[in-house]
Amino acid sequence: MSAQVEGPDPAWHAALRAEADQAPRRPRWPLWAGEALIGSVEPDFLEAVQADCRLDARAVVQRTRRADAQGWQVLGEPTAALAQLALALCDAGLAHAWRDEQLAVTDARGRRIASIERAVVRPLGIPTRAVHLVGHDAQQRVWAQQRALNKPNDPGLWDTLMGGMIAAADTLGTALARETWEEAGLQLERLRQVEYGGCVRIRRPSDDGGGAGYVVEDIDWYRCVVPDDLTPDNQDGEVECFRLMDRTELLALLHRGAFTTEAALILCEDLFGR
């Protein structure tokens, strides 16, 4: 879709890829719901929650051993138990910004097991999915958004035209359409050449949960052409501004670390095939 131009500095690009694929800071134990592995936690993390919170977290999770692995078992019906655990984490001050948004909880084969409040997925190492959209114009410039300065994650950094998590109620397609409207005020049917680009994976420690979090996220991304008579217009208050960038400006901002890690990976794949 795009002409080849000077690509990213190899050393910078290697560092970017390393940033997106990091081992946990400390060892982690499996978190099971029934027979399904749904996440991971630091060994003593849930014990601290049980001791500190007013809710009875012991009623919804307990230590266990399977074969040679120590781990934690979610007790009872998974969605209900995880809801109580989320409240316990919030009560202990270990939840991120509470969104009242449910994300799917899946097993290793991607089958849905339950759902859980978005604010606690990182401390529990629960895998998530997201979707991004790269927007070009007819001159091969790229639309970028600056994240709102009050966002809890990466405030003020530059991002793709649209990026958001896939909620439990969404499919990939409905999330793409909804997030494109909410973040950029654009309807998919008015965009041109909407096509699947690929998937990037993020595996890295997170400061959520008092530093005990771990990000496990797969991001499906798409590309499109935004017609010249359309201009992105944020609808949900989570974007500071949009800017149409040529590749020279965009590459300079990438090298300066002005983009989120996820957006940088996606743009390198889209623009430079790396």
Domains of the chain: 10-23+128-272 (3.90.79.10), 29-120 (3.30.750)
Report d(CA 55, CA 267) in Å as an integer.
44
Contact 151, 164 (CB under 8 A): no
126: nearest Cα among 63, 75, 82: 82
**What six digits make up the tokens of 131?**
């979707």
Query: Cβ contacts of residue 189 below 8 Å, gap of 6+?
Result: none
Name all contacts of 12-17 with Cβ < 8 Å and 24+ positions apart.
12/254, 12/255, 13/268, 13/274, 16/261, 16/264, 16/265, 16/268, 17/265
**What six digits make up the tokens of 109?**
């084969």
Q: Report the 10 Å Cβ neighbour count for 233.
A: 11
β-bridge partners, 106: 112
Distances (CA, A) of 124 to 27, 38, 95: 13, 9, 10
Report d(CA 184, CA 238) in Å as an integer.
10
Range of weakest confidence among 20-34, 47-61, 164-178, 238-252? 47-61
Confidence at residue 54, expressed as pLDDT on a 0 to 100 scale: 64
Handedness of CA 34, 40, 199, 145 (dihedral sign): positive
Confidence at residue 273, expressed as pLDDT on a 0 to 100 scale: 85
32: nearest Cα among 80, 9, 65, 68: 65
Handedness of CA 270, 242, 194, 181 (dihedral sign): positive
The pTM of the full predicted model, rounded to 2 decimals, is 0.93
Per-residue pLDDT for 3 more than 50?
A: no
For 78-115, write each residue's pLDDT tens digit: 999 999 999 999 988 899 889 899 999 999 999 999 99
| Mean pLDDT, the chain, integer | 93
Confidence at residue 55, expressed as pLDDT on a 0 to 100 scale: 63
Q: Which amino acid is located at 193 in the chain? A: Q
